[in-house]
Amino acid sequence: MSMSVSEIRRGLAAGKFSSVEITQDYLARIARFNPTLNCFISVTDEIALAQARTADAALAKGNAGALAGVPLAHKDLFCTEGVKTSCASRILDNFIAPYDATVIANFKRAGAVMLGKTNMDEFAMGSSNENSYYGSVANPWNTEHVPGGSSGGSAAAVAAGLAPGATGTDTGGSIRQPAALCGVTGIKPTYGRVSRYGMIAYGSSLDQGGPFARSAEDCALLLQTMSGFDARDSTSSEQPVPDFSAALGQGIEGLRIGLPKEYFADGLDGRIAAVIETAIDELRTLGADIRDISLPNTGLSIPTYYVVAMAECSSNLSRFDGVRFGYRCKNPVDLEDLYKRSRGEGFGAEVKRRIMIGTYALSAGYYDAYYLKAQQLRRMIKDDFQQAFADVDLILGPTTPEVAFRIGAKTDDPVSMYLQDIYTISLNLAGLPGMSLPVGFSDGLPVGMQLIGNYFDEAGLLNAAHCYQQVTDWHLQVPELQS
């Protein structure tokens, strides 16, 4: 089962099958394969079937929304009214969200069906999905390997055909890196394009929601519904949202694509470099004007990111205190005990590590050296990109330095884990849109290529990716699953 969102829409419109039928098919696949893959934290069968029935009725009446009847999965950090929203943390294991995130409300309005909530690294902190209270997610291409993170459950679900599309969030690469490791297409839009309201915050100035799907064409459809100004998110943009699907297929003749030399330097697995080279040749054949560029401050992006993201998360996660919702320790003796044990028992190790580092970075006497310095570096990184975009339309490189690694291989080495995000992280610091699409394999595991666009040029990214996918079939490859 490897139907695309587009195919499902066409099939539903033509009456080839009903939403209830395909929803049942997906639920059956989830029941069959999820025990091995662990993509889902919650499967919302009843809601899904009810929504599917509603969608079928709307389709029959002819007043259906843009995604009516299309089953989707949502990362478990989007608040969903009446449904557990855990952020893969023990501290929210009992949390039933009292409201819908704007992204979820948009999908509901468009008539989409929610299959369930997907697994992730706890509070979106991680690059392997090993930091989940609900256990690791397995990569569908090789279940001994990680799917990437933090949106690993969503990426693996789409790769395994447990959902035709899924939502994710990307703070330092959490859509693009798992998309690359699972061989699916994923896009992180410009900061401000998608409302953050109801997305449980990790690093507020970096977080951005986006879709996973089998193709750029499908991502265009899903991103259309997710995007737009939201009065409830002061950082959401009033930039008009173009018709992403209409922008596809314009060709890339003469499109100037820059290759940052820093993205092809030491640290990149040679086999990945070779796969990317082949993809570049393909784009050149399609008429792209490939140029060498430089992003000199790339090396600063990881330390900058980890100061900014951790500082913000140390504050964002203060609300999880055992007072109003979420996990509360047993028999607290006093207020301090309530705080210490609720948080100590409720958060996992990586979350605690980041809260502590962030708290340190913001402390009196250290603020200037860390947080303020990071803000200055952030501006330099942004300036690098702005200079580059004076000469090119898109920037291209590998999404990750390696393919999916074995589960457990990096758990004792956080720095090596953090280096997984070397190519993705600077976009979040700059607020730029980026996407990852599958361009080949290495050792039987998918290789992702990253495209980076200028601000609010998601349409340009999707068009280039679509052109590539029109002449290649890497995005159509599906793993063989064992239940």
Partner 1 sequence: MSDWESVIGLEIHAQLATRSKIFSGASTAFGAEPNTQACAVDLGMPGVLPVLNREAVNMAIRFGVAIDAEVDHRSVFARKNYFYPDLPKGYQISQYELPIVGKGHVFISPAEGEHLEIGITRAHLEEDAGKSIHDLFPEQTGIDLNRAGTPLLEIVSEPDMRSAKQAVAYARKIHSLVRYLEICDGNMQEGSFRCDANVSVRRKGEQKLGTRAELKNINSFRFLERAINFEIQRQINLIEDGESVVQETRLYDAERDETRSMRSKEEANDYRYFPDPDLLPVVITDADIARIRDALPELPEQKKQRYISDLGLSDYNAELLTANRETAAYFEEALGDAPDQCAQLANWILGDLAGALNKAGLDIAAAPITPAMLAQLIQRISDSTISGKIAKEVFEAMWQGEGGADDIIEARGLRQITDSGAIEALIDEVIAANPEQVEQFRAGKEKVLGFFVGQVMQQSQGKANPGQVNKILRDKLKS
Centre a 10 Å sphere on the Cβ of residue 281 and count the other Cβ atoms it contains: 11
The residue from 218, 312, 350, 421 that contacts partner 1 (CB under 8 A) is: 312
Q: Which is nearer to partner 1, 18 or 154 (CB)?
A: 154
Closest to partner 1 by CB, 271 or 352: 352
Q: Site for partner 1 (CB under 8 A): which residue of 97, 377, 404, 467? A: 97
- 286-310 burial code (b ≥16 CB/10 A, e <16): bebeeeebebebbebbbebbbbbbb
**Alpha carbon of residue 133 to chain centroid:** 19
What's the closest the beta carbon of residue 172 comes to partner 1, in angstroms?
A: 15
Residue number, 237 or 424, with CB nearest to partner 1? 237
Residue of 30, 83, 92, 279 that binds partner 1 (CB under 8 A): 92
Neighbours of 19 (CB within 10 A): 29
Q: Of 24, 225, 15, which Cα lies nearest the Cα of 108?
A: 225
Among positions 14, 231, 333, 415, the unique one binding partner 1 when judged by CB under 8 A: 231
Choosing from 14, 333, 364, 390, the residue that interacts with partner 1 (CB under 8 A) is 364
Nearer residue to partner 1 within complex by CB, 327 or 405 = 327
- 455 vs 468, beta carbon nearer partner 1: 455
Site for partner 1 in 389-418 (CB under 8 A): none
- Is 235 a binding residue for partner 1 by CB under 8 A? The answer is yes
Which CB sits closer to partner 1, 131 or 195? 195
Q: In this chain, which of 234, 285, 331, 482 binds partner 1, going by CB under 8 A?
A: 234
At 451, is the secondary structure helix, strand, or coil? strand
95 is a site residue for partner 1 (CB under 8 A): yes
Residue 105 to residue 98: CA distance in whole angstroms? 13
Buried b (16+ CB within 10 A) or exposed e, 405-427: bebebbbeebeebbbbbbbbbbb
* Angle at CA of residue 245, ends 239 and 249, nearest 5°: 115
246 half-sphere exposure, CB direction, 13 A CA radius: 4
For residues 419 and 376, what is the distance between their CA atoms, to the nearest angstrom? 21
Cβ closer to partner 1: 324 or 330? 324
H or E stretch including 75?
Answer: strand 71-75
Burial profile 186-213: b = 16 or more Cβ within 10 angstroms, e = fewer: bbbbbbbbbbbbbbbbbbbbbbbbbbbb
Query: In the complex, what is the shortest distance from the CB of residue 359 to partner 1, in angstroms, rounded to a whole number?
Result: 7
Interaction of residue 25 with partner 1, rule CB under 8 A: no
For 266, counting Cβ atoms within 10 Å of its Cβ (0-12 exposed, 13-18 middle, 19+ buried), the class is exposed
Residue closer to partner 1 (CB basis): 200 or 435:
200
Q: Which segment (138-146, 169-177, 317-325, 433-441) binds partner 1 by CB under 8 A?
A: 317-325
Residues 250-309 that bind partner 1 (CB under 8 A): none
Q: For residues 197 and 299, is the Cβ–Cβ distance under 8 A? A: no
Range in contact with partner 1 (rule: CB under 8 A) among 10-18, 239-247, 322-330, 345-353: 322-330
Residues 326 and 92 sit within 8 Å (Cβ to Cβ):
yes
Query: How near is the Cβ of 113 to partner 1 at its closest, in Å?
Result: 22
Q: Which 8-state DSSP code applies to residue 96?
A: B
- Is residue 357 a contact residue for partner 1 (CB under 8 A)? no
Nearer to partner 1, 37 or 432 (CB): 432
**Dist CA 139 CA 407 (whole Å):** 9
Torsion of the alpha carbons at 407, 409, 412 and 415, rounded to the nearest 10: -110
Nearest approach, Cβ of residue 340 and partner 1 (Å): 10
Q: Is 201 in the site for partner 1 (CB under 8 A)?
A: yes
Q: Name which of 102, 78, 113 is nearest 92 in CA terms.
A: 78
User: Residue 196 interacts with partner 1 (CB under 8 A)?
Assistant: yes
204 binds partner 1 per the rule CB under 8 A? yes
Write out the two tokens for 200. 């449980």
The region of 1-9, 12-20, 142-150, 191-199 touching partner 1 under the rule CB under 8 A is 191-199
Among 141, 212, 371, 418, binds partner 1 (CB under 8 A): 371
Query: Given candidates 323, 356, 369, 471, which one binds partner 1 under the rule CB under 8 A?
Result: 323
Q: Does 430 bind partner 1 (CB under 8 A)?
A: no
Which residues are designated catalytic? 75, 150, 174
* Both structure tokens of 65: 């929304």
**Separation CA 290–CA 87 (nearest Å):** 41
Q: Does 1 bind partner 1 (CB under 8 A)?
A: no
> Can residue 142 be called a binding residue for partner 1 (CB under 8 A)?
no
Residues at the interface with partner 1 (CB under 8 A) = 77-79, 85, 87, 92, 95, 97-99, 101, 196-201, 203-205, 231-235, 311-312, 314-315, 317-321, 323-325, 335, 339, 359, 362-364, 367, 371
